[in-house]
Amino acid sequence: MSLLADRESRLLIDGKLVAGSAGAFTTINPATEDVLGVAANADADDMVRAIDAARRAFDDTDWSTNTALRVRCLRQLQQAMRDHLEELRELTIAEVGAPRMLTSGGQLETPVEDLSFAADTAENYRWSTDLGRATPQGIPTDRRIVREPVGVVGAITPWNFPHQINLAKIGPALAAGNTLVLKPAPDTPWAGAVLGELITGHTDFPPGVINIVTSSDHAVGAVLASDPRVDMVSFTGSTATGRSVMTDAAATIKKVFLELGGKSAFLVLDDADLAGACSMAAFTAAMHAGQGCAITTRLVVPRARYDEAVEAAAATMGSLKPGDPTDKRTVCGPVISARQRDRVQGYLDLAVAEGGRFACGGGRPADRDVGFFIEPTVIAGLTNDARVAREEIFGPVLTVIAHDGDDDAVRIANDSPYGLSGTVFSGDDERAQAVAARLRVGTVNVNGGIWYSADAPFGGYKQSGIGREMGVAGFEEYTELKVIATAVAQ
């Protein structure tokens, strides 16, 4: 089976690969602007059929209670992805514009291996907990707490790390006993649709348990939030769209998981290795063209060494030239689309209007007329009040901000509508830990530590979202709690 050549993907509805009722739409290579092929274009009626199928599979089969079947199916999907890993790698590089080096980690291989965590969790999970005997209102009662699946889950995913986010929802949702409808991003439909091909060809998933609906129309995904037959919506994307999902879901009071935007801060304390820390911040901000919600895009440094910090960040950032994502040496590839490139450029123009300057970068690379590339850019001379320091840009852009000590650094980091992630660098681990404890964020990297792992919950405070993905906490997002109380015969 070829996953890339002359590709025309299909929808997966009720166990069958089918065409979209709205025809097909093209998917573009963001590095070359070439048309790669087409994806099935669903309309609202297709989505309704997918929801119907998921509802029937949950209500009328033993999927929700057959843990062994769920574990087997997830392991089969994992093995199918392993068996087609090199084809999936080429598809990911071409459609996502992901640098080849990243497909060995979070862009492909890591999320495939992380499916084991979902399967293992389901296999070993304590679904029932004895609460013991009590005599509420004088009635002897045995009580237990049980965890059950939520029901039908609607999953809406973005384009920046499609395999990681698709599988981070599919894995735990299905392992917990739910059925699911996946709506992938229009910019990366193949990354979602290919799962349908692997599922139908290599697994025992019953019809309707998982449905995959690609569409160029964002309104098709909105059906998942408004349809009363969907019990939960799991959304990853922008905060603005997350608000819409939450609003639509409110009509039926359905459960909502949201993983949204970020404007994370990289704090360098005055006893840190300044050059090393700033170089790491720059590398991180340029990776995958800055298209990551948890990437630290505000570099907060001691005021007395501000110019030195800007110079160090720019030296690294300026050396990471935008390149061909097929080249294993490339760190910064293209952004996903012309629309996104223009959006990033708009923020760069705004930085100048706000009084900032570019220590490196600032626009499209002169040597690349084709492809959606933006130069890795360091912005200096602005405070945390500037829009480029407060709004999520989603491009390879790092803004350097001065602080006046630990308290001020924490104040700047927390002065944001977001609270997704953060980094602290210090020569004193205890001092760094004390600062990390004061950050209002969901994950913190201290002196280069890595928080991304299948067993570690990921999510944010404030407008960065609601709930956690990954880890046992992420598995339990897809469950409901029930208390069963049984009177004891006298």
Task: Give the CATH number of the domain where residue 200 resides.
Answer: 3.40.605.10
Judge if 39 and 183 occupy the same domain: yes
Residue 1: the pLDDT is: 46
Judge if 270 and 301 occupy the same domain: yes
Judge if 437 and 469 occupy the same domain: no
Q: How many helices (H) and strands (E) would you count in the chain?
A: 15, 22
Judge if 435 and 469 occupy the same domain: no
Q: Is residue 369 part of a domain?
A: yes
Q: Is residue 487 part of a domain?
A: no
Check if 477 is active-site.
no
Residue 251: the pLDDT is: 95
What range does the domain containing 79 cover?
6-259+463-482
pLDDT in tens, the chain (490 residues): 456 555 799 999 999 999 999 999 999 999 999 999 999 999 999 999 999 999 999 999 999 999 999 999 999 999 999 999 999 999 999 999 999 999 999 999 999 999 999 999 999 999 999 999 999 999 999 999 999 999 999 999 999 999 999 999 999 999 999 999 999 999 999 999 999 999 999 999 999 999 999 999 999 999 999 999 999 999 999 999 999 999 999 999 999 999 999 999 999 999 999 999 999 999 999 999 999 999 999 999 999 999 999 999 999 999 999 999 999 999 999 999 999 999 999 999 999 999 999 999 999 999 999 999 999 999 999 999 999 999 999 999 999 999 999 999 999 999 999 999 999 999 999 999 999 999 999 999 999 999 999 999 999 999 999 999 999 999 999 999 999 999 998 7
Judge if 237 and 342 occupy the same domain: no
Triad 144, 73, 62: Cα angle to 5°: 45
Q: Is residue 168 part of a domain?
A: yes
| Distances from the Cα of 402 to the Cα of 318, 383, 422, angstroms | 21, 7, 16
109, 197, 259, 477: the catalytic one is: 259
Q: Is residue 453 part of a domain?
A: no
CATH number for the domain harbouring residue 324: 3.40.309.10
Judge if 252 and 279 occupy the same domain: no
pTM of the model as a whole: 0.96
Judge if 255 and 280 occupy the same domain: no
Q: Is residue 488 part of a domain?
A: no
Judge if 330 and 425 occupy the same domain: yes
Q: Is residue 454 part of a domain?
A: no
CA distance 476 to 51: 22
Judge if 376 and 251 occupy the same domain: no
Residue with tokens 């300026």: 318
Judge if 209 and 277 occupy the same domain: no
Contacts of 243 (CB under 8 A, 6+ apart): none
The candidate with the shortest Cα–Cα distance to 20, out of 289, 250, 254, 220, is 220
Per the structure, the count of domains in the chain is: 2
Q: Is residue 458 part of a domain?
A: no
Backbone φ, ψ for residue 36 (5° rounding): -85, -40
Judge if 180 and 53 occupy the same domain: yes
Contacts of 413 (CB under 8 A, 6+ apart): 265, 267, 298, 300, 422, 439, 441
Is-contact 300 409, C-beta < 8 A?
yes
Residue 486: the pLDDT is: 97
Q: Is residue 397 part of a domain?
A: yes
Judge if 251 and 282 occupy the same domain: no
CB burial readout 297-311, b (16+ within 10 A) else e: bbbbbbeebbeebbb
